[in-house]
Amino acid sequence: MEQSQHTKPHRATGAQDGPPVHPPLPASARRRPPASVAAGAALAPGATFATFATALFAAALFVATLGMPVPAQAQASWPDKPVRLVVPYPPGGNVDGAARVIAEQLQAAFGQPFLVENKPGAGGLLAGQSVASAAPDGYTYFMGANGPILFAPLIFGRADVYDWKRDFVPVGTVSFTPMVLQVHPSVPYKTIGEFLAAAKKKDGTLTMASPGAGTSNHLVSEYMQREGGLQWTTVHYKGNAPATTDLLGGQVQFNFDQLSVALPFIQQGRVRALAVTSTKRLSQLPDVPTLAESGFNGLSAETFTGLLAPKGTPVEIVQRFSAALQKILADKAVRARFETMGAEARASTPEQFQELLAREDGRWTPIIRQANIKAQ
């Protein structure tokens, strides 16, 4: 079992020591024109000025093509080699699971491998940077979620690494997963009303497990405290698994968890569900009220997954990819697979995804700033 790591409230432990997020390229890896055509190269014995001029022209042409857009012929034949979907988490989570479902379907649709590449670390910065700096040729995509796409650069103080508006082009959403406010069975509160009444006392007795600063789980907690006049102590962990482990063990009293993770423990009676963050009650938990029903009008929070391409990816490729994704996510069998994962398959156009990102950014970024949420 992974050992939990406690920190002070509002301080994440998700950042890990290691190499810099964006190390400079070593000198040996920097692209150079061949020495034989480099400007200023000496004439070989017997060479004429004409051959030297031809070499210089070839060198100039080589350099010029480095920044050229993807040719129309290449766009028309896309994809003609494997496509990478870079996931900012280890295998086994809801984002990784969603990526593997669509990768299988995309491979069947296009006849080329769609490879899931897990690149966890630094709250998603490593994965995001690798895609932002990739060639915009339609063969590398960021399969991200709320935190890695929108908030990791802010929380880690690394806006220089990437910015979703500056460095990415939305392709489309994939899935949405609501969360459950759940308590350990030893906690005396049986309803959301009793829980909120206890939180309003602000006596420091309530403790919440968070999978990390800036996650959807953490942000909805901060929103409720700010809007509802509530208070509890937030304990951050290195991911969802150790946070859930301590909740099940009674070391903390409650958390917000994705339905896909929470449902089995609720059904086993190892935790008690008090409320859900969806806009309507869930078919899996019909007797559990929404937070909106419980006095937080208009409050809904879901973990979404979606695909983004590097800025500059040809519009034709983005549109083809998005259209295929929308068709896949409309399939009944695919939707059923997402339901077994506790998620809802929900496709969008690139424009709709852009609007969603703008709304979520505007909604949660002020909370991050006001609560001074930082990683260390």
Residue 376 pLDDT level (bands cut at 50, 70, 90) = low
262, 213: one domain = yes
Distance between CA atoms of residues 119 and 338, nearest Å: 23
CATH value at residue 131: 3.40.190.150
Burial tier of 330 (Cβ tally within 10 Å: 0-12, 13-18, 19+)? exposed
CATH value at residue 251: 3.40.190.10
In a domain, 63, yes or no: no
Burial tier of 40 (Cβ tally within 10 Å: 0-12, 13-18, 19+)? exposed
* Residues 87, 306 contacting (CB under 8 angstroms): no
84, 164: one domain = yes
Interacting residues of 347 by C-beta distance below 8 A, sequence separation 6+:
172, 173, 174, 325, 326, 328, 329, 330
348, 205: one domain = no
pLDDT at 207: 97
Q: Is the dihedral of CA 200, 204, 205, 207 positive or negative?
A: positive
96, 245: one domain = no
In a domain, 243, yes or no: yes
- From 241, 258, 276, give the residue that closes a domain: 276
pLDDT at 26: 39
| Domain span holding position 253 | 178-276
pLDDT at 71: 61
pLDDT at 172 > cutoff 90: yes
Residues 342-351, mean pLDDT to the nearest whole number: 95
CB atoms within 10 A of CB 306: 28
Per residue in 272-294, pLDDT (tens digit) is 999 999 989 998 999 999 999 99
pLDDT at 74: 62
- From 218, 241, 276, give the residue that closes a domain: 276
120, 212: one domain = no
pLDDT at 1: 39
pLDDT at 44: 42
pLDDT at 346 > cutoff 60: yes
183, 172: one domain = no
Question: Chain-wide mean pLDDT for the chain?
Answer: 84
Per-position DSSP letters for 344-368, written without gaps between them: EE----HHHHHHHHHHHHHHHHHHH
Of the two residues 49 and 220, the one the predictor is more confident about is 220
310, 264: one domain = no
Per-position DSSP letters for 10-62, written without gaps between them: TEE-----SS-SSPPPPGGGS----GGGSTTPPPPTT--HHHHHHHHHHHHHH
Residues 294-303, mean pLDDT to the nearest whole number: 88
163, 254: one domain = no
Residue 374 pLDDT level (bands cut at 50, 70, 90) = confident
Per DSSP (E only), the strands in the chain are: 11-12, 83-87, 114-118, 140-145, 168-183, 207-210, 233-236, 254-258, 272-276, 302-310, 344-345, 374-375
Distance between CA atoms of residues 208 and 364, nearest Å: 19
In a domain, 141, yes or no: yes
Q: Is the dihedral of CA 158, 164, 168, 170 positive or negative?
A: positive
In a domain, 210, yes or no: yes
Burial tier of 272 (Cβ tally within 10 Å: 0-12, 13-18, 19+)? buried
pLDDT at 169: 98
pLDDT at 69: 57
pLDDT at 57: 52
In a domain, 22, yes or no: no
Residues 155-181, mean pLDDT to the nearest whole number: 95
Residue 72 pLDDT level (bands cut at 50, 70, 90) = low
pLDDT at 76: 76
185, 148: one domain = no
In a domain, 369, yes or no: yes
In a domain, 291, yes or no: no
Per residue in 13-41, pLDDT (tens digit) is 333 333 333 333 333 333 334 433 333 33
Of the two residues 109 and 122, the one the predictor is more confident about is 109
226, 252: one domain = yes
pLDDT at 298: 80
pLDDT at 10: 42
Of 210, 202, 267, the residue nearest 231 (C-alpha): 202
Phi and psi for 78 in degrees, rounded to 5? -65, 140
Residues 306-327, mean pLDDT to the nearest whole number: 98
pLDDT at 299: 86
pLDDT at 371: 84
In a domain, 231, yes or no: yes
Of 198, 205, 302, the residue nearest 256 (C-alpha): 302
185, 271: one domain = yes
* Residues 214, 375 contacting (CB under 8 angstroms): yes
Per residue in 74-99, pLDDT (tens digit) is 677 899 999 999 999 888 878 999 99
> What is the chain's length?
376
Residues 348-372, mean pLDDT to the nearest whole number: 94
Q: Please tell me the total count of domains within the chain.
A: 2
85, 166: one domain = yes
